[in-house]
Structure 1
Amino acid sequence: MKIGFLPTLFFFLFISSVSISQNAVQDSIMLRKIYTASLTEGKSYEWLDYLSNEIGGRLSGSIEAENAVKYTEAQLKELGLDKVWLQPVMVPKWTRGFKEYAYIETSNGEKTVTEICALGGSVATPSLGIKAEIVEVKGLDELAALGKEKLAGKIVFFNRPMQADLIQTFEAYGGCVDQRYAGAAEAGKYGALGVIVRSMNLRLDDYPHTGAMSYGDTPVSQRIPAAAISTNGAEYLSSLLKLQPNLLFYFKQNCKTFDDVQSYNVIGEITGSTNPNEYMVVGGHLDSWDLADGSHDDGAGCVQSMEVLRLFKKIGYKPKHTIRVVLFMNEENGLRGGTKYAEEVKRKGEKHLFALESDAGGFTPRGFSFQTDAANFKKAQSWQSLFKPYLIHSFEKGHGGSDIGPLEGNIDVIAGLRPDSQRYFDYHHAANDTFDAVNKRELELGAATMASLVYLFDTYGTK
């Protein structure tokens, strides 16, 4: 090495370090602007109030879902975005009907009413309901071990609770949701008359939690009804079965599935200043279950995503890439909106670099999960120090989001906002997922956190 080369090398290293330092300062200032605007002049909570309290539960195919489409489209137009449009998508239409009814009957004829709700997509019971002996199992393996001899003509009670010692509550959810999703299809193979499933909830309470289920390829004539029972109800039923194994369970539900109907994804965008044909997406799902107004799941994610674009307009930030907000329809019982958006991206040959989803509740943000390669994950990790002053610095590889998941393979980075999840399943798919359960400040922190990550990826791009 020539001696004269060393001063030149040191000079460039010095200039590089100064540049990195200056960028960090500029980014820190920009994040502060974003958080200040969200916390002092935010619109997310106001939007959520209307979405929850004026429109209510937004089950796919319902009038409430269509009202939500109209409302959010109008709000995005008011922001003065460069483009706002509706993307047609066919969605399933399932209705719950009259409130479900259930009771436990002991050998001496004593009846105890218990709280249940039909699982989304379930068939109805016969008009007079179903009454039969009930058999408790902890999962699909135990169901198969019992077989037709012990299950035919009976109601199956799936009672595997979420694993309480898992800190990551979504991991606990994933560990037992198969009994809700596939329980009826599997129990029907052994001649069971119906299925009752313990609610996916870490807390003991009286709220039954609905959610999607599937019959797979089971013929319509052979499908059996499925309902969720509250965790308190499940505990009581299980304890009573230990004393009286032959007790009876009765339930009646009136749900119905109709032909698919047309709905829409709601989309708005700010056109990029230097790379208008490269897209970055932020979104949540506009549909919800019908038991409540769906404030945490996923009204919060929708209004936070809308707020990202409003914040950029508010602080005068002009993104380099085109930033889209997409409010997806039908995540809960079909994923039709997310699938349709990905299909259109592929059909049009649009280049998508980054997508961020909020679908884990409006609680205090803790960080992000990333579906990406090592280089882009390392880039994201380099920004952790910018989020640390806000106590948001958990950056991990993992699931980004269901609605943006179909983009995988045609995008560089998929990310999910990760709020504190310890209370999320207290409300998930239940009648208490209402506006009053959402904290204004936590919601606004989440919106600012999302906007900050979008800003950083827009500024520095993907690898």
Structure 2
Amino acid sequence: MKFLKYILIVVVVTWQGYAQSEDEKQIKAIYETALTQSKSYDWLNYLSNQIGGRLSGSIQAQQAVDYTKAQLDSMGLDKVWLQPVMVPKWVRGTPEFAYVETAPGITTNLPICALGGSVATPLQGIKANIIEVNGIKDLEVLGADKIKGKIVFFNKPMDPTLISTFESYSGCVGQRYAGAMEAVKYGAVGVIVRSMNLRLDDYPHTGSMGYGDLEVWERIPAAAISTKGAEFLSATLKLSPNANFYFKQSCKVYNDVESFNVIGEIKGSTYPDEIIVVGGHLDSWDLGDGSHDDGAGCVQSMDVLRLLKESGYTPKRTIRVVLFMNEENGLRGGKKYAEVAKNKKEKHVFALESDAGGFSPRGFSFDCSEGDFKKVKSWGPLFEPYLVHMLVKGYSGADIGPLKDDGIVLAGLRPDSQRYFDHHHSEYDTFEHVNKRELELGAAAMSSLVYLFDKYGVEKTK
């Protein structure tokens, strides 16, 4: 009996060693292919420099749909198609203009940009006293007596002590999204919000904002001010608390228009009804060209399918790339994809999103069961040679979130985040700030994780 037990242990250990060796070889092949034959950087070059910013509902967004579909068509996938989705159409209009006035005729221009979804100012702009607050909670403390008829300046900065810049962003982004709808309750006539950026610079950062249930006539204009501009304005108000602020913007909301998610897939050889999704969002803001947010995630996701094919791997499960439309100001693409999948009763087992920039990959975060996470942790040694050490539980991604159910593992690529918010939603998010090798390493890490989930599957739910 002891002899048989010994033989069994040897067989199991030998099999595990063989499997580990095969996985190591496949992942090495993926990385070597990514670093020598990647297409991601060239695709991003075209998206960024030939098309540019891809705001939902814009001509550029449609050009991006046409271009990426053509590239997927050229890859020899089993199926490529467009999935219609209605998206909001917001247009920035002419460039915004702002200044602070400390005395009649004594003004200093400051860099601002309208927040996505904001209404315009009157044609002549808005000029009023400005009052500084450190977040939405300060509104209630001040009350309508001190706010009515004024412009509210939200100046809560991102917390520099937090190592995770996404955690720092989450701690203050509420003032951007809800600042206007809350300030109007106290009689404010406009809102200026400090940009979500840890760096001091002159680039205002836009982003989505909402008005809740406010009628159109009740809405007040909202704009972001650069971090250096915010510091200057705050210092000015300490010296001249009765200073006026002027700003003008001509943005406009139109009726929804039709756009598309771009989808391509390789059919699984063994379990074709089990679907693995990898994706990013094709839309971006109109400032800059959206290279990091999220052109990088789109081209990396496209390259996952190509790298698996080029490295000689035949998927067991259906692997699908989805380039989602309208993540930035509505999440319509992610919701539509999940709705169609549910109606078709498709079985999604794993979804991976890249929407944190094209920087060096540090790992992945997972929204999954304990059993699946234990399996993921066992793969740690396979990623360590590539410096992808962080395998943690946490947030996956906005566009794949609507797919969540008990039978799917959701994951997000986690690149180094320290420079991401320098670029995020701003004119500074451009192609020259993406490093080719870092972009390719991210695509390789994603491909490796997709390979492992395709080969070993997910834990069965009861």
Note whether the superposition's TM-score is higher than 0.5. Answer: yes
Q: Does 1:377 align with 2:362?
A: no
2:265 alignment counterpart: 269
2:297 partner amino acid: G
The equivalent position to 1:16 in structure 2, one of 3, 12, 21, is: 12
Partner of 2:396: 400
CA distance in 2, matches of 1:144, 1:224: 18
Q: Does 1:436 align with 2:446?
A: no
**Contact preservation (8 Å) 1:268, 1:326:** yes
Q: How does 1:67-82 map to 2 (within 5 A)?
A: 67-82=63-78
* Aligned with 2:39 (options 37, 43, 57): 43
Cα distance 1:77–1:424, how it changes in 2: closer, same or farther (>3 A)?
Answer: same
* Aligned counterpart in structure 2 of residue 322 of structure 1, from 318, 339, 344: 318
Shift in Å at residue 10 of structure 1?
A: 2.0
One of 298, 308, 313 as aligned partner of 2:304:
308
How far is the alpha carbon of 1:104 from its aligned partner?
0.5
Letter of the 1:278 counterpart: E
Secondary structure of the residue aligned to 1:399 is: coil
1:67, distance to aligned residue in structure 2 (A): 0.4
Aligned to 1:134: 130
Q: Render the CA deviation track for 1:78-121: whole Å, top value 9, x for unaligned.
A: 00000000000000000000000000100253100000000000
Long gaps (5+) in structure 2: none
Describe how 1:49-448 pairs up with structure 2 within 5 A. 49-409=45-405, 411-448=407-444
Structure 1 equivalent of residue 445 of structure 2? 449
Secondary structure of the 2:250 match is coil
Secondary structure, in 3 states, of the residue corresponding to 2:202? coil
Aligned residue type for 2:452? L
Q: Which residue of 2 aligns with 1:458?
A: 454
SS of equivalent residue, structure 1 residue 402: coil
Gaps of 5+ in 1: none
CA distance in 1 between counterparts of 2:106 and 2:184 reads: 28
- 2:268 and 2:221 mapped to 1: Cα distance? 50
The letter of the residue matching 2:130 is I
TM norm structure 2 = 0.99
Residue deviations 1:2-52, cap 9 Å, x none?
xxx222222112111111111111111111100000001110000000000
| CA-CA distance at 1:71 after TM superposition | 0.3
1:345-380 Cα distance to aligned partner (Å, 9 max, x none): 110000000000000000000000000011101101
Give 2:22's aligned residue.
26
The Cα of 1:145 is off from its aligned counterpart by 1.3
> After the TM superposition, which of the residue ranges 312-321 and 295-304 deviates more from structure 2?
312-321
Aligned 8 A contact 1:56 1:292 in 2? yes
State the distance in 1 between where 2:248 and 2:275 align: 49
In 2, the alpha carbon distance for the partners of 1:194 and 1:10 equals 76
| Change over 3 Å in CA distance of 1:195–1:236 after alignment to 2 | same
CA contact (8 A) 1:277 1:322 kept: yes
CA distance in 2, matches of 1:167, 1:108: 44
Q: Is the 8 A contact 2:147 2:186 kept in 1?
A: yes
Helix, strand or coil at the partner of 2:180: helix
The separation in 2 between residues aligned to 1:261 and 1:194, in whole angstroms, is 28
How many Å separate the matches in 1 of 2:115 and 2:177? Answer: 9
Residues 405-414 or 233-242, more deviating: 405-414
The 2-side partners of 1:6 and 1:240 are apart by 83
Q: Give the TM-score, by structure 1 length.
A: 0.98
Please give the secondary structure, in 1, of the residue aligned with 2:298: helix
Residues 64 and 410 of structure 1, relative CA distance in 2, 3 Å threshold: farther
Letter in 2 for 1:374: E
Is the Cα–Cα contact under 8 Å of residues 107 and 246 in structure 1 kept in the other structure? no
CA distance in 2 between partners of 1:47 and 1:454 (Å): 21
**CA–CA distance in structure 2, aligned partners of residues 34 and 380 of structure 1:** 18
Cα drift, residue 69 of structure 1: 0.2
> CA, structure 1 residues 410+91, in 2 after alignment: closer, same or farther (shift >3 Å)?
farther
Q: Distance in 1 between matches of 2:345 and 2:6?
A: 45
Point out the more displaced range, 5-14 or 397-406: 5-14
- How many angstroms does 1:317 deviate by? 1.0
**What residue identity is the alignment partner of 2:224?**
A
